[in-house]
Amino acid sequence: MVGDQLMTDIRAAHRADIQSVLVRPLVKSDAWNTRINRWRERRVWAKLEEKYGKIQHQKGI
């Protein structure tokens, strides 16, 4: 599964036991409900980086 939201797309793939790829969002602005998810996502992202170190986006496969 490919998704740009950690809290929805990637979490759903994890729960369904499907491999997932987190990509950068294509749009610069989000709908109001997506903004709430992005806020939560930043908090989770910070905890992941605290545990595993700086996470880098990768170009290409």
- Every domain of the chain and the residues it spans: 2-23+32-52
pLDDT in tens, 8-50: 899 999 999 999 998 888 777 777 878 888 888 889 889 999 9
pLDDT at position 16: 97
pLDDT for residue 18: 96
| Euclidean distance between CA atoms 51 and 35, whole angstroms | 24
The pTM of this model reads 0.68
pLDDT (mean) for 48-57 = 89
The sign of the torsion formed by the CA atoms of 9, 29, 52, 40 equals negative
pLDDT exceeds 80 at position 6: yes
